[in-house]
Structure 1
Amino acid sequence: MTERPHILIVGGGYVGLYAAYRLQKKLRGGEATVTVVDPRPTMTYQPFLPEAAAGSIEPRHVVVPLRKVLRGCRVVTGVVTGVDHRRKVATVVPAEGVPTELPYDVIVLAAGSVARTQPVPGLAECAIGFSTVGEAIYLRNQVLSRLDVAASATDPEVRRRALTFVVVGGGYAGVEAFGELEDMARFALRVYPELAPSDMRWVLVEAADRIMPEVSPSLAEYTVRRLEKRGMRVLLNTTVTSMVDGHVVLSDGEEFDADTVVWTAGVRANPLAQASGLPVDPRGRLVASTTLRVPGYEGMWTAGDSAAVPDLSAEGAWCAPSAQHAVRQAKLLADNVIRSLRGREPKPYKHSHAGSVASLGLHKGVAEIYGIRLRGVIAWLMHRAYHVTRVPTLNRKVRVLADWLMAFLLRRDVVSLGQIHDPRRDWAAMVETTATHPRVAPPGK
């Protein structure tokens, strides 16, 4: 190892951000250098994406600029496509430019997870995921623009298709997106006298026999009942077999057209570890010890969704891919890296899962904390309280609280900014029209 070791952190999500932040605070001056590589220059606090899509939180406030927070680290916007630990180099493809090799002494693999997709015809063309702030903004504009289309349509088929919204996947992300977006649309209908809540068709499709496996069956059943009471459909033991041109076909034979399909059917570990020939478990996660080291690979550490970390609080179990584990693992990982640099033994990770909270729309939620089940407004308040304490930086905490206060006092804004998805459309049309029909030259020319 060199006199001033270089620590490379692959991924700027929960683990990457929190680990780098702790390292820059705890490392002595000149003790080591830290580089963070991520495809995006920001970290997204994903639990707030449903509220950002629903207009309760400004989308900019659910992302944390890496360079602003990690002033003591070097931040590289790019993708790590391979790791050669024998030579201790990582191949980085920057946002623009040619691939380069980045040497390191210590590496933290925290590339997180990617969407788990299926070979469904039409999926790539007709559906959208729900893991980035861009997708949240798009969905907000998409839902509101469909209300405009339906209110202006004279063809009942066009109206029916515009008002059909499908969410595939009944995990936390899918259920929260389903509840928050419907709640926003229902609120927006107040300015559409042509439309009624009963005109909307909201369909949640889940392949398993229950939703939200993170909570108890009774709480999951309660959630289904609450959603159905709002006129929303929850289809269990059902899959989507096709969605070509927006024509959704379900495994039970049902078919209908939909302009909006959201795909939240689970995640899988980032394929980087497997592609680099590193030891992975059957689910593609990088194998880790209880101290978050990769056994047999000196100087390699891992945590978060892409890591298979033994759960010491439950015999024979593995830590679930949750933000709760990722944040706590990140802090211990940073401390263990420092202990290793200073010749001390790392400590094992042990944390009992405290529970889960979920929002189903404004003033609606479910929660299960240390076995205590909560519903309705209290659960919704706990959801907000928990996540505002977990979102990184005081700056973002204050901004989120301010967003909630303004939405409470003035009600949330339900204006669609659909043009941001194709801002050049009107400009291109005008240029084409001008080229086809030149205007009269100005006087004197």
Structure 2
Amino acid sequence: MERTKVLIVGGGFAGVECARGLERGLKSGEAEVALVTPASYELYLPLLPQVAAGVLTPQSVAPPLRRLLHKTTIVPGMVIGIDPHDRACVIELISGEVVKRHYDHLVLTPGSVTRSLDIPGLDEQARGMKTLAEAAYVRDHVIAQLDLAAASSDEADRAQRLQFVVVGGGYAGTETVACLQRLTNAAAKRYPRLDPSLIKWHLLDIAPKLMPELGERLGRRAQQILRERGTDVSLGVSVAKVDEDKITLTDNRVLPSRTLIWTAGVAASPLIGILDAETIKGRLVVHSDLTVPGHPGVYALGDAAAVPDLTKTEGAVCAPTAQHAARQGRHMARNLLATLRGEPRTPYRHKDLGLVVDLGGTDAVARPLGYELSGLPAQFVARGYHLMALRSVTAKARTVANWTLNAVTGDDFLRTGFLSRRPATLQDMEATDAYLTPERARELTR
């Protein structure tokens, strides 16, 4: 008798936790589980800013999937098309070969990509902070600007290279600017020809408050820490136009700069757009048990799904956070096991553990279980939470070792030259142009 086929799309928090839960719960021969992902690791996104700053090595935040999953078949590629009528997916393997794979149960966890807006020059000039490659590129780019400024005798060119702009006042943007400014401040001491006062960081957000989810007091405290370090925090303003050597803001200011790091929100993976299903702001509408209405055997969770938040008012959906994705993945595994055994599925419901923001050094703000913390206590909670969330002992050990080494010896300023001779666009880094139309997907699955 042929085993039931479970196909999981995406190797992020939701997909990996679902696969791990199935591995623990499935009986021998009960089902065959496969996970499709172009990467060979599970990326721990919350610590990417520390990779960009060189505090952590890439291996610390990217435990290999083959360390985490032992019974799941890992398919190295991207699902670029879905035909729910034939219950098949079109997969482009990393070798370039296109294959199709049938399923009985399809779990969609393709995650999200950096949200882009219709701003002149944004797609060509902005750099993201969503992938390991983007973090590595941003680090190289920032250090390169210091090197180029030190080598330049042109004052205008030097000013452009020493101004850095981060857009997005959420966790990703705030932690990115905090970590990278510490790096450039430390690096400036090693450049005799550079005046440290010329290095300027800007954090922009169209919202009136920085990280409003933290609450009024902690949001103000985070903003105060950044400003004390010299970051210019501008709220209620965004980018109107981006050129190679300057950035025009919506309040008509023009910042001479060659660095725009874009962290202004995320959008569901483009894969969601090729599935003929209802969406909310690009995220798949799902029931509270994570099933997709009108598509038997299809489930969605994580950043790509608008999962009802049963702890809030009617109509609320869960935020696209790592905490929700991991919990939904574990819940999905339990619901799949129940489905395979003819038992009822249960709705996803969570208890919020709170929020943590690591600002580097001894600075942090946190709100665990509703308690407001800042400084060293918040840093202890933030780093403890990250260690708890990392999914391999090796990754935890590397992270602790990196934090300790950085605290004792300080920052380093290695530039590898990664993609130094070509632009690293959001589309290239996040492969947002790889997906098929629904019609083409059906053609290939026939």
What residue in structure 1 maps to residue 373 of structure 2? 374
Change (3 A) 1:378 1:414: farther
Residues 151-188 of structure 1 show CA distances to partners (whole Å, capped at 9, x for unaligned) of 23222112111110000111110110011000111112
Contact 2:292–2:298 at 8 Å: present in 1 too? yes
Q: 1:351 to 1:198 in 2, by over 3 A?
A: same
* Counterpart secondary structure, 1:29: coil
Deviation at 1:6, TM superposition (A): 0.5
Q: Give 2:312's aligned residue.
A: 314
2:301 aligned residue? 303
Aligned residue for 1:310, secondary structure, equals coil
Q: Secondary structure at the match of 1:338?
A: helix
Determine if the alignment matches structure 1 residue 112 to structure 2 residue 111. Answer: yes
Helix, strand or coil at the partner of 2:153: coil
- Structure 2 unaligned spans of 5+: 423-446
Return the letter of the residue paired with 1:309.
V
**Does the 8 Å contact 1:273/1:279 carry over to 2?**
no
Partners in 1 of 2:215 and 2:412 — Cα distance?
Answer: 35
CA distance in 2: counterparts of 1:310 and 1:227, whole angstroms? 35
Shift of 1:420: 3.1
Letter in 2 for 1:313: T
Q: 1:330-378 deviations in whole A, cap 9, x for unaligned?
A: 1111111011101111222111222110112221111112222111222
Structure 1 residue 387 displacement after superposition: 0.6
- 8 A Cα contact 2:68 2:391, kept in partner: no
Q: How does 1:41-440 map to 2 (within 5 A)?
A: 41-281=40-280, 283-316=281-314, 317-417=316-416, 419-422=417-420
What is the letter of the counterpart of residue 327 of structure 2? Answer: R
Is 1:39 the equivalent of 2:38? yes
Kindly provide the amino acid, as one letter, of the partner of residue 288 in structure 1. V
Structure 1 unpaired stretches of 5+: 425-445
Q: CA deviation at 1:63?
A: 1.0
> Which segment drifts farther, 157-166 or 73-82?
73-82
Q: Residues 242-297 of structure 1: CA distance to partner in whole angstroms, max 9, x if unpaired?
A: 1122321111111122121101110011232331102322x121122222222333
The count of corresponding residues between Structure 1 and Structure 2 is: 421
Task: Decide whether the 8 Å contact of 1:88 with 1:105 is kept in 2.
Answer: yes
Displacement of 1:423 in angstroms is: 8.4
User: Normalised by the size of structure 1, how large is the TM-score?
Assistant: 0.90
For the residue of structure 2 that corresponds to 1:7, the secondary structure is strand
Shift of 1:35: 1.0
Could you give the per-residue CA deviations for residues 395-431 of structure 1, whole angstroms, max 9, x where no partner exists? 21111111112222332322222x232489xxxxxxx
Contact 1:198 1:231 in 2 (8 A): no
**C-alpha separation between the residues in 1 aligned to 2:24 and 2:100?**
27
What amino acid sits opposite 2:29 in the alignment? G
Q: Confirm or deny: 8 A CA contact 1:268 1:284 kept in the other structure.
A: yes
- Rounded Cα–Cα distance in structure 2 between residues aligned with 1:93 and 1:348: 33
Aligned-partner Cα distance in 2 for 1:97–1:49:
28
Q: State whether residues 223 and 366 of structure 1, in contact with CA within 8 Å, keep that contact through their aligned partners in structure 2.
A: yes
Q: SS at the partner of 2:212?
A: coil
Aligned partner of 1:145: which letter?
A: A
The RMSD of aligned alpha carbons is 1.7
Length-normalised TM-score, structure 2: 0.90
Q: Percent identity?
A: 38
Aligned-partner residue type, residue 90 of structure 1: C
Structure with the larger RCO, 1 or 2 (CA within 8 Å, 6+ apart): 2
Q: Give the drift of 1:195.
A: 2.8
Greater mean deviation of Cα atoms: 187-196 or 249-258: 187-196
CA shift, 1:215, in A, is 1.4
1:321 deviation in Å? Answer: 0.9
User: How far apart, in 1, do the equivalents of 2:288 and 2:342 lie?
Assistant: 18
CA distance in 2: counterparts of 1:28 and 1:16, whole angstroms: 20
Q: Is the 8 A contact 2:165 2:260 kept in 1?
A: yes
**Contact 1:290/1:348 (<8 A) preserved:** yes
Q: CA deviation at 1:39?
A: 2.6
**Offset of residue 313 of structure 1:** 1.4
- Please tell me whether Structure 1 or Structure 2 has the larger radius of gyration of its CA atoms: 1
Whole-Å separation in 2 of the counterparts to 1:55 and 1:312? 39
Q: Secondary structure of the residue that 1:412 maps to in structure 2?
A: coil
Find the aligned partners of 1:261 and 1:56 in 2 and give their Cα distance.
21
What CA distance in whole angstroms lies between the structure 1 residues aligned with 2:317 and 2:224?
Answer: 31
| Alpha-carbon distance between aligned partners in 1 of 2:107 and 2:227, rounded to the nearest angstrom | 44
Counterpart position of 1:27: 26
**Paired AA for residue 301 in structure 2:** A
| Partners of 1:58 and 1:98 in 2: CA distance | 32
Q: CA deviation at 1:78?
A: 1.8
| Aligned-partner Cα distance in 1 for 2:138–2:382 | 22
String of CA shifts for 1:123-147, please: whole Å, max 9, x gaps. Answer: 2222110011111111112222222
